[in-house]
Structure 1
């Protein structure tokens, strides 16, 4: 399996942190030298390992924001 290349171009924020130090983060990431996308996933303390996550375009992130704004918490 080919290695996945990534670069965190902008760290936006941490959503949570586990007792083992892994953080669920929202970042802008360039995957395999492509246009950066918004990404939510768990990261090990030094970003040396990552969990599964979801990657969103700017338009999808805007739609997610709008959906979240419509729910009654």
Structure 2
């Protein structure tokens, strides 16, 4: 496995937490000293281990935000 580095630049929110303490979080993360990206993934309580996740550029996050704002989430309860 190749080495990589990361730095959580801003913790934005916890989306959920498992019984074992892992948290699904939205953060702003710099991977390998690159420009930061919005990142959603599970993190261990000490932030030393992580699950698979997804990253979004600023433009992608703006598109996602606009899309989520246009969705009627109440339809999911029907």
Smaller-chain TM-score range?
over 0.9
* Greater fraction of residues in helix: 2
Separation in structure 2 between the aligned mates of residue 30 and residue 3 of structure 1, nearest angstrom: 14
* TM-score normalised according to structure 1 size: 0.96
**TM-score, normalized by length of structure 2?**
0.90
- Determine the structure 2 residue equivalent to 1:40: 40
Shift of 1:2: 1.3
Aligned pairs, number: 73
1:30 Cα offset (Å): 0.4
Runs of 4+ in 1 over 2 A off after TM superposition: none
Larger radius of gyration: 2
Name the CA distance, whole Å, in 2 between partners of 1:65 and 1:7.
24
| 1:66 match | 66
Where does structure 1 lack aligned partners over 5 or more consecutive residues? none
Structure 2 residue ranges without an equivalent (≥5) = 74-78
Root-mean-square deviation over aligned CA pairs: 0.7
